[in-house]
Amino acid sequence: MHSSDSTFIIVGGGIAGLCAAIGLAKVGIEAHVYESAIELKGIGAGFGLAANAMQALEHLGLKDEIVPIGHYLASYNVLDQKGNILVEPDTRSISQKYQQDNFAIHRADLHQFLLSKIPNGQVHLGKRAVSFEREGEDIQVYFADGSHVRGQALLIADGVHSALRQQLIPGSAPRYSGYTCWRATIDNSSIQLSKGTETWGSKGRFGMTPLVNNRIYWYACINAEAQNPVLKNWKTKELLDNFKDYHVPIPTILSETKDSELIANDIIDIEPLQQLAFDNILLLGDAGHATTPNLGQGACQAIEDVAVLVDELQTSASVNLAFQGFEKRRLDRVNYICNTSWRIGKIAQWENPFLIGMRNFGMKIMPNRMKQQQLNKLLSVDFMQINRNEDTRI
């Protein structure tokens, strides 16, 4: 497509939105990002950049600069609450197949890096998008402050709660997973954590991984009703009491976490959609396929989105055809990940002792090749080639 006269509106300044602005610039498309927050500081804690995300970042020309701000993950085992290994994924062979490694990174570090790649004046803060309308071939977006902006195309990347998605697809409100989560990033000086793990136990899950600059990112998931009034007030004392019988260093990590460092959220996603492209409007990242975090693929899929979108824009005859091509290449993959992650979360959160015993026994005796099947389907597929055909080419 000819891009010199195209102006894109990107609603949302998260990972998907910022990556999109960077990717569009590489193909000569001017894009402006409109973010509801008054300060862009990457709220959250850590997350994984798996090998597939690193491949996508390489397509976008960003990988080499991101590697130094990420922590290399040689492994990420699943344990029982006594510390016994349930699953030991062969991530090394996957990395070799992809020729990419797996990393953990702090959200604020990645946000700061991505923001540094976007020219001044192209990110607009304090702009909460509330609606849009079509005006001829253009799109007009309206903001809560009464302002509006017009462009040739709209990328909706404002997350799981996106008002614009719900305007496009009524009934696409977030759905609650059945468990809530606490996260924090703390100092690693005394604990000296060197490996990432996730523990499945009778009182919830606990994950932890080292980050750069001698930090630890941890998270804890506990079954609860949505917006549970009791758990909403839990601090480190209550979390420590809940996980006190879990293996080391979980109790130590909690005891060294300050209440002020806690971030608490119910875990939500959106039910898989049947459409991502609507002529010159496209859903990106969590706005189009928010997933529970059980595969560590939320941010990874947002970055994949952008790599595929840039490829389509480079090779398609128009924006609308590029968006159609994007949907063909992405919809099945993101829906598979959403559904699989939902199922894993339900199994991982089992509390019944009998079911836990059966699950753990089955996971221990399962042949490694069977344990690897899901990881292979997720990471060893070249996502850039999925449904890549000539239908939308020039």
Q: Which residue has the higher pLDDT, 7 or 32?
A: 32
Q: Which two tokens stand for residue 230?
A: 């009791």
- pLDDT for 89 equals 86
131 lies in some domain: yes
Per-residue model confidence as pLDDT tens digits over 117-148: 999 999 999 999 999 999 999 999 999 999 99
Per-residue model confidence as pLDDT tens digits over 298-349: 999 999 999 999 999 999 999 999 999 999 999 999 999 999 999 999 999 9
61: region left, alpha or beta (phi > 0 left; psi from -120 to 50 alpha): left
Q: How confident is the model at residue 367 (pLDDT cuts 50, 70, 90)?
A: confident
264 lies in some domain: no
The closest alpha carbon to 239, from 180, 324, 196, 194, belongs to 180
| Range(s) of the domain holding residue 289 | 7-70+107-174+271-351
Query: In CATH, what number is assigned to the domain containing residue 131?
Result: 3.50.50.60
- pLDDT for 394 equals 37
Dist CA 256 CA 191 (whole Å) = 9
The closest alpha carbon to 276, from 321, 341, 326, belongs to 326
The angle, 0 to 180 degrees and rounded to 10, between the axes of the packed helices 298-315 and 319-348 is 160
User: In the predicted model, what is the mean pLDDT of residues 361-376?
Assistant: 83
Dist CA 106 CA 236 (whole Å) = 21
Query: Considering the chain, what is the average pLDDT of its residues?
Result: 94
- pLDDT for 3 equals 47
Per-residue model confidence as pLDDT tens digits over 161-210: 999 999 999 999 999 999 999 999 999 999 999 999 999 999 999 999 99
319 lies in some domain: yes
Per-residue model confidence as pLDDT tens digits over 11-25: 999 999 999 999 999
The DSSP bridge partners found for residue 183 are 219, 263
Dist CA 296 CA 236 (whole Å) = 24
Would you say the pTM of this structure is higher than 0.85? Answer: yes
- pLDDT for 379 equals 76
Dist CA 225 CA 75 (whole Å) = 33
- pLDDT for 36 equals 98
32 lies in some domain: yes
Q: What is the residue whose two structure tokens read 């998260």?
A: 14
Please give the DSSP secondary-structure letter assigned to residue 126. S
Structurally, how many domains does the chain consist of? 1
- pLDDT for 368 equals 78
**Do 148 and 142 meet the contact criterion of CB atoms below 8 Å apart?**
yes
Dist CA 322 CA 282 (whole Å) = 10
Q: Which two tokens stand for residue 36?
A: 């509801």
The DSSP bridge partners found for residue 242 are none
224 lies in some domain: no
Please give the torsion angle defined by the CA atoms of residues 370, 286, 72 and 108, in that order, rounded to the nearest 10 degrees: -160
Per-residue model confidence as pLDDT tens digits over 53-97: 999 999 999 999 999 999 999 889 999 999 999 999 877 776 776
Q: How confident is the model at residue 392 (pLDDT cuts 50, 70, 90)?
A: very low
345 lies in some domain: yes
Q: How confident is the model at residue 390 (pLDDT cuts 50, 70, 90)?
A: low
204 lies in some domain: no
- pLDDT for 393 equals 42
Dist CA 278 CA 156 (whole Å) = 11
